[in-house]
Chains A and B, each alone.
Chain A
Amino acid sequence: MELVKGPTYSHEEMLAHMVAEYEVILLRTCYMYLHDKALAEDATQETFLKAYKALDSFRGESSEKTWLMRIAMNTCRDMKRSAWFRYMDRSVEIERLPLPTKVFEFMEADDLTQAILKLPTKYKEVVLLHFYQDMTMREIASVLDISASTVQKRVKAACSKLKKMLGKEDFYES
């Protein structure tokens, strides 16, 4: 649920709302992008900081989620490009994150997650935004500033790569 920006809400309240609504999904998206827990925390923190600083300028012409995701994607891209990123020990593989106590049966989902991590960045972005953030093609186009048709092509290409990596005949066809 979005908070309609209005005179009754302070910036601190709006920040608290955004954090409550989007923190976890943003943090996990950043992890999948950067493949590093510490960087994902930094990227999430940086995203909310930038959003908070720019709240005066947010006029509600798009959804706040789209607005926030644009900031997050650009932040992740910047981090990935920074020299510092090269030094990070990215050997904190997903397997080393502690598992929850409940055991799921969706081994397919685990393989799929691993495969998504290995995708080239431009495909990983659209997969995360479309299937994890549940964004429409148009919203994704707005976040990444590419055309909707390019988004579609990349989703298709990404799924094709995932199908190949997983060796599954009955994989998703976009």
Chain B
Amino acid sequence: MNHEKMREHVHTGIDRQCASLTSDPYRVQRVLNKAHETPKTGGFVVKKKLSVGMVFAIVLILMTVTAVAAVLLSMRQIVDDYAVPMAQQSVGEIDYNPEEVSILVQLAQENGIVFSEHAMSNIAWAESHGEGYAKDEFIKLLAYTEFGEDISTWTLEQQKWFDDALVAMGIFPESQKAMPKDPEGEQELAVSRAVAHLTANYSIAGDIMDESQYQVGVQYINGDADGDYPGLYWSIDFQPKTITGGEYWVYLRDNGEILGQSVRLGLSADSSVGDVRDAYVRYYKKDYPAHVEWDQHVYQEFLATAKLVKPSNGRAYLCIIQTEYPDIPDDAISFDDAYAIAAADLGITDYRVFKKVLIATDTNPVWKFTMSRGEDDYSFEIDCITGEIRTKRLLDNLHRKWWMSIVLWEVSDEVDANWVDDSPSFG
């Protein structure tokens, strides 16, 4: 089959199967509506008044860009040819100054490099406070636009390039990343050896070669610069994309010699409710800093999983299996109202709240949360329909176990009263 035939098949196949994916007559309007919802964060570059000297510098750079480019400048060219030399002019300074940041942002945007909203928000914040931006952090933002924000997914070459840029900028004395002779071939071999080692020695949760279950991270490390082992070696890691997956790290030489490994087993019926809690915290860490910040539906998922582990005599387990997290009733008072009730009871107007969840009781569900007054933390359980304070407790050190913040006090008190510690003692 020649190129033209291949092209025809690809077009026909995709267009046929995607026939229902057609133009949207409102697309332009929707884009315009969205664009006018938020301020154009890129505009701050144009609005800023630049010094005369910086204007000349910008003109010089842009003239060079115009003269050289028949195609777009890549992100790497911007880093290698502009950002790094700029950083080298002020070795010892941690930050790019605000004008340097402006130049680099404008240069990136002119070449189709689009920072994330989050990145632009950070840059704009720094600019509004008259601050510069840490050089290595800024280079990282540039690298994110192309390589992605999860460094573990970067290729070996991308990692090496980034490391070299930081060395050139004076951030590191020596590159910590190396490049094998045949990156793609040797990487594939190293990964397959790591997989073989893991499957031969551990019970793996799921399929570590399934992209939908695990993210493979590969590094080729110059251990003499800063590594766990001397010389050159591979670090292969498998990060779960599912809640039940384990986490596996293998370190090995080019010749296949295994230097070491680190394994965290995935969830199973043998897991504890604490393991389940940890798995959910890791899984949701990007959206929620800790389990105590979860939304109600996450608590419901966590509970459903936690109740699947095998029974144990642990207090956390005994409390969790007696707990239910209901859907929030339509007529429930809001969190803010519940906080206001608690604050009024404590006689405070400024308050900090954490650890909130709705827990079922024999009557109405209660909002459970902790509120601080000075150095003291108070736990409240407030009827979500009537607003009645059902429980109020000053927390002492004995009552700050993680499960106690997400189960009813009457449940954890009863478990504590009847609990016999049958864990082995070591005399």
Contact = CB atoms under 8 A, between A and B. Distances in A.
Interface of A: 12, 15-16, 19, 23-24, 27-28, 31-32, 37, 40, 44-45, 48-50, 52-54, 56-59, 61-62, 66-67, 70-71, 74, 77-78, 81, 83, 86, 94, 97-100, 104, 106, 108-113, 116, 120, 127, 131-132, 134, 138, 142, 145, 159, 170-174
A86 B241 contact: yes
Interface string B224-241: 000000000000000001
Contacts of A111: 13
Contact of B110 (A53, A59, A66): A59
A32 B75 CA distance: 25
Contact of B42 (A53, A62, A71, A173): A53
Given A49-B34, A71-B114, A172 B28 contact: no
B6 A172 contact: yes
A67 B287 contact: no
Contacts, number: 171
Interface of B: 1-3, 5-7, 9-24, 27-28, 30-32, 34-35, 40, 42, 46, 65-66, 69-72, 74-76, 106, 109-112, 114, 116, 145-146, 148-150, 153, 211, 241-242, 284, 286-287
Contacts of A81: 148-150, 153
Most buried by A among B10, B106, B110: B10
A59 B149 CA distance: 27
Given A53-B35, A106-B13, A145-B146, A71 B112 contact: yes
Contacts of B109: 54, 56-57
B114 A106 contact: no
B110 A57 contact: yes
11 contacts: A19-B27, A27-B21, A44-B27, A50-B114, A54-B112, A81-B148, A94-B17, A98-B19, A110-B16, A172-B1, A174-B3
Contacts of A59: 66, 110
A104 B16 contact: yes
Nearest to B77: A145
B21 A54 contact: no
Contacts of A56: 42, 46, 109
B3 A172 contact: yes
Given A45-B27, A67-B112, A142-B74, A97 B17 contact: yes
B1 A170 contact: yes
A49 B284 CA distance: 28
Contacts of B116: 78
A129 B211 CA distance: 22
A86 B109 CA distance: 30
Contacts of B42: 53-54, 56-57
Contacts of A172: 1-3, 5-6
B71 A142 contact: yes
A145 B145 CA distance: 11
Contacts of B7: 131, 134
A174 B65 CA distance: 34
A52 to B, nearest CB: 5
B14 A28 contact: yes
A62 B16 contact: no
